[in-house]
């Protein structure tokens, strides 16, 4: 108990400053403090215990529906792990490994037009993700760089903007909506889940291609991960609502590198994610080591540790 209190006193200011910087004003200070005490600190202690048992780089997969707040939560955990536990922690987004616009354009011509839109498995550079894991695991560590993707230009940034990893991290949080996704059976693929699949993927070619990528290439990547943390959204309707909220916040951030989408663009965009998101809610609710259950008001209802 004393350790928890020490941790709280040490990280409280950094945590509140971070939330202000991120313009998270939809909660009272009391509610933010409660989340720190009851959610973020217990998860950080759990992560540190896992690291101490392993005694070498701990790889965590962190996923959940779009707009669930994964990026913010991962950054909060990083603040606590660095400030209190003194753990060299890196938060890596799977989004930064998206294929270039040129590569996706090529895929959209050769395989299926829907592959032009970044997001689903098959639109990431899997070899670069695998390379990242190999570099971190190397016996003799050498500094390396990992890509940076700009959603505003929908393309990878030049190498001079890439992230430098100068020291072997003790904790790596790989964050992204599809991290830990599992494939579906062919039977489930048959029925279109939305208008996008019904009208633009009549022959199931896109669905099959994405599913095949999860089954083979992504399974190999996710096998590098020690434990999964999953943010469970109440239902898919909330994904749309929260994604809409995200865009409104982005429109107020003039310095943001993300392109702001309209109502109709978001509606279409989340259709690309729907099938896998719903399957992940079924699968990761049972298999993830930590499940964070969200309420409809976006606050965390409870955490399940396995």
| Residue 275, token pair as written in the block | 């099938």
Q: Over the stretch 123-171, which tens digit does the pLDDT of each residue have?
A: 999 999 999 999 999 999 999 999 999 988 999 999 999 999 999 999 9
pLDDT recorded at residue 26: 75
Whether residue 262 has pLDDT greater than 90: no
pLDDT recorded at residue 257: 55
Report the distance separating Cα 175 and Cα 157, nearest Å. 19
pLDDT recorded at residue 253: 58
Report the distance separating Cα 159 and Cα 179, nearest Å. 25
Confidence of residue 258 (pLDDT cuts 50, 70, 90): low
pLDDT recorded at residue 251: 64
Q: Over the stretch 29-81, which tens digit does the pLDDT of each residue have?
A: 999 999 999 999 999 999 999 999 999 999 999 999 888 999 999 999 999 99
pLDDT recorded at residue 95: 97
Average pLDDT, the chain: 94
Average pLDDT over residues 224-251: 88
Which one is predicted more confidently, 263 or 197? Answer: 197
pTM of the model: 0.94
Question: Domain map of the chain by residue range?
Answer: 2-90+177-305
pLDDT recorded at residue 131: 97
Taking the CA of residue 15 as centre, how many other CA atoms within 13 Å lie in the half-sphere pointing to its CB?
Answer: 28
């Amino acid at each position: 108990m004393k350790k928890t209190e020490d941790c709280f006193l040490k990280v409280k200011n950094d945590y509140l400053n971070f939330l202000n910087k991120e313009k998270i004003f939809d909660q009272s200070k009391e509610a933010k403090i409660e989340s720190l005490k009851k959610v973020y600190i217990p998860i950080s202690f759990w992560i540190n215990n896992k690291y101490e048992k392993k005694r070498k780089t701990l790889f965590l997969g962190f996923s959940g529906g779009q707009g669930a707040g994964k990026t913010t939560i991962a950054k909060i955990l990083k603040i606590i792990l660095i400030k209190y536990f003194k753990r060299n922690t890196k938060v890596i987004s799977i989004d930064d490994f998206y294929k270039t616009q040129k590569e996706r354009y090529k895929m959209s011509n050769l395989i299926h037009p829907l592959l032009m839109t970044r997001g689903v498995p098959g639109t990431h550079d899997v070899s670069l993700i695998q390379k990242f894991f190999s570099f971190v695991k190397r016996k003799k560590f050498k500094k390396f760089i990992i890509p940076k993707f700009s959603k505003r230009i929908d393309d990878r940034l030049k190498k001079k903007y890439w992230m430098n990893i100068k020291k072997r991290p003790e904790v790596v949080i790989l964050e992204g909506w599809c991290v830990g996704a599992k494939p579906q059976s062919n039977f489930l693929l048959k029925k279109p889940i939305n208008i996008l699949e019904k009208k633009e993927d009549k022959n199931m070619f896109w669905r099959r291609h994405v599913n095949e990528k999860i089954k083979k290439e992504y399974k190999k990547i996710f096998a590098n991960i020690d434990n999964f943390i999953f943010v469970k959204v109440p239902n898919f309707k909330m994904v749309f609502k929260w994604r809409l909220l995200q865009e409104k916040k982005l429109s107020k951030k003039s310095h943001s590198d993300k392109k702001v989408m309209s109502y109709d663009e978001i509606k279409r965009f989340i259709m690309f994610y729907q099938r896998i998101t719903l399957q992940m809610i079924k699968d990761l609710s049972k298999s993830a080591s930590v499940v964070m259950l969200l309420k409809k008001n976006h606050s965390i209802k409870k955490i399940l540790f396995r």
